[in-house]
């Protein structure tokens, strides 16, 4: 048997890089191993520019504007060839961040070789030793991961999630007035509207998006154990905390002044917990809509060219929602373990976070895939108000609640004949179905004030929806 492992091009081991690649491809620019190396290059380049521009090290010239542009172009032009070159260097160093340092020294050497003035070339050679100056690997890594995650959230995940929630909100507005038999504990309950029920989910999801949108992305650059030991030993007169703060903030991150060798990752745990909560609420939407489809409240009318069942031609399976559920569960398993483990480290540092953080892209990918599937599933639905109305018509007993509530109010006001309202409605409705005629006959015999009696004789399960339509307007 031929070995699939030897196939060229390589066959993906995981579904995200195989079957579902198209849906999650935008994350590759942010959360792949290649993206990690590109951001490491970015941090090293910006640190070199920051040191020289700020004249932090005495008697070291600033890079010229052209040199800075050419160095930053190394980051912007980072591609497959650079990935391969770094892999080659790392086979020698057996250290990923040290490979970045040597890679950049090669680039600076090339720049020096192209410089016309010999004195400037000599200066570049000396400046190359400021690449990775006073840094531990985690100074580079923590900033790189913060930039990667920030980019993935703000440029990919959050826009996709926001578009999905906006679609749910639009559905809620469209269906704000469509009556729906509510079910609490799976049993017929006080009617609502389909719009109001979808609005509840949209409102919940929006709260989580707001939290994620306010996420803090922390970073540090303070040396091997967070003490600036090497920095002070090399250049004692510099204000290293101020230099570090300015540098971290120049990257668009929030400075963390107190760390061990690693940035503590608390911000990551907070973000992943919020994302997991969003996922769980979205999972709730998927299971509810799946159930509504099974009850006939929604028809899957679009995309009918697909095959629903391999053997039953009439079926259109709600696979988008089922696929979303599964991927949300995988994403949450990863987000939960990331959030719980990244906040822990033995003493000043252990390496568990290094392996753990390499799963961030997978966690995001399964969430993004679920968002894509849920959105496509919702886009293929049409509401069936007639099916919702039929269920309401079959459950007149739900009007027992408003009638007994009115009787309680009237009894408290001194109206005679309103005794034991709950018990009387319970005897009428519990354990059996009643018709509209049954209920109207019961209401007519209660001795209600004429205006109250008229209200309940005219009420139907379809009209007993309270303020449900108006509540949808809280979505804005």
CA torsion sign for 339, 201, 166, 387 is positive
Residues 223 and 337 in one domain: yes
DSSP conformation letters of 73-107: HHHHT--HHHHHHHHHHHHHHS-HHHHHHHHHHHH
Residues 44 and 171 in one domain: no
Residues 417 and 379 in one domain: no
Do 320 and 374 form a contact (C-beta atoms < 8 A)? Answer: yes
Q: What is the pLDDT of residue 385?
A: 97
Residues of the chain with pLDDT under 70: 113-123, 302-315
Q: What is the pLDDT of residue 447?
A: 85
Residues 261 and 375 in one domain: yes
Tell me how crowded residue 105 is: count the other CB atoms within 10 A of its CB. 15
Do 364 and 332 form a contact (C-beta atoms < 8 A)? Answer: no
Q: How far apart are CA 312 and CA 181, in angstroms?
A: 30
Q: What is the pLDDT of residue 305?
A: 47
Q: How far apart are CA 341 and CA 344, in angstroms?
A: 6
Domain that holds residue 143: 137-385
Q: How far apart are CA 318 and CA 300, in angstroms?
A: 8
Q: What is the pLDDT of residue 304?
A: 47
Residues 254 and 333 in one domain: yes
Domain at 92, CATH number: 1.10.275.10
Q: What is the pLDDT of residue 11?
A: 83
Tokens of 469: 């339509």
Q: What is the pLDDT of residue 302?
A: 60
Q: What is the pLDDT of residue 306?
A: 52
**Is 341 inside a domain boundary?**
yes
Q: What is the pLDDT of residue 307?
A: 47
**Is 256 inside a domain boundary?**
yes
Domain at 202, CATH number: 1.20.200.10
Nearest Cα to Cα of residue 285 among 360, 157, 400, 373:
373
Residues 80 and 146 in one domain: no
Q: What is the DSSP letter of 4?
A: G
Q: How far apart are CA 335 and CA 319, in angstroms?
A: 24
Q: What is the pLDDT of residue 312?
A: 46
Q: What is the pLDDT of residue 475?
A: 95
Residues acting as catalytic residues: 185, 309
- Give how many domains the chain has, as a whole number: 3
Q: What is the pLDDT of residue 118?
A: 47
Residues 294 and 428 in one domain: no
Tokens of 466: 């309270």
Residue that is last in its domain, among 385, 416, 450:
385
């Amino acid at each position: 048997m031929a070995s699939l492992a030897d196939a060229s091009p390589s066959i993906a081991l995981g579904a995200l890089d195989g079957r579902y690649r198209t849906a999650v491809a935008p994350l590759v620019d942010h959360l792949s191993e290649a993206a990690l190396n590109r951001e490491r290059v970015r941090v090293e380049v910006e640190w070199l520019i920051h040191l020289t521009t700020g004249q932090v090290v005495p008697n070291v010239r600033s890079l010229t504007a052209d040199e800075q542009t050419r160095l930053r172009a190394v980051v912007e032009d980072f591609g497959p060839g650079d990935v391969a070159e770094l892999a080659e260097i790392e086979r020698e160093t057996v250290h990923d961040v040290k490979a970045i340092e040597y890679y950049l020294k090669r680039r600076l050497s090339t720049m020096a070789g192209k410089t016309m003035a010999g004195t400037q070339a000599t200066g570049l050679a000396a400046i190359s030793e400021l690449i990775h100056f006073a840094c531990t690997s985690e100074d580079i890594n923590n900033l790189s991961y913060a930039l990667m995650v920030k980019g993935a959230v703000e440029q990919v995940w959050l826009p996709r999630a926001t578009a999905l929630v906006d679609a749910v909100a639009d559905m809620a507005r469209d269906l704000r007035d469509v009556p729906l038999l509510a079910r609490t504990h799976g049993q017929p309950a006080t009617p609502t509207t389909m719009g109001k029920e979808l609005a509840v989910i949209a409102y919940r999801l929006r709260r989580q998006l707001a939290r994620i949108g306010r996420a803090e992305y922390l970073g540090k650059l303070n040396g091997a154990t967070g003490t600036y030991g090497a920095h002070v030993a090399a250049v004692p007169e510099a204000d290293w905390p101020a230099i570090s703060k300015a540098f971290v903030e120049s990257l668009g991150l929030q400075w963390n002044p107190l760390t061990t060798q690693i940035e503590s990752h608390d911000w990551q745990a907070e973000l992943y917990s919020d994302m997991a909560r969003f996922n769980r609420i979205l999972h709730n939407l998927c299971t509810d809509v799946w159930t509504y489809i099974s009850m006939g409240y929604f028809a899957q009318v679009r995309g009918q060219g697909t095959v629903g069942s391999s053997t039953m031609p009439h079926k259109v399976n709600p696979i988008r929602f089922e696929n979303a559920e599964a991927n949300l569960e995988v994403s949450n398993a990863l987000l939960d373990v990331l959030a719980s483990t990244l906040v822990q480290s033995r003493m000043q540092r252990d390496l568990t976070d290094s392996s753990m953080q390499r799963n961030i892209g997978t966690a995001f990918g399964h969430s993004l895939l679920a968002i894509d599937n849920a959105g496509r599933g919702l886009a293929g639905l049409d509401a069936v108000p007639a099916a919702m109305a039929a269920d309401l018509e079959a459950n007149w007993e739900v009007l027992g609640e408003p009638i007994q509530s009115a009787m309680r109010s009237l009894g408290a006001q001194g109206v005679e004949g309103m005794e034991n309202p709950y018990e009387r409605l319970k005897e009428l409705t519990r354990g059996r179905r009643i018709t509209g005629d049954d209920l109207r006959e019961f209401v007519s015999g209660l001795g209600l004030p004429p205006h109250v009696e008229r209200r309940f004789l005219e009420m139907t399960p379809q009209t007993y929806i309270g303020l449900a339509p108006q509540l949808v307007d809280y979505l804005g």
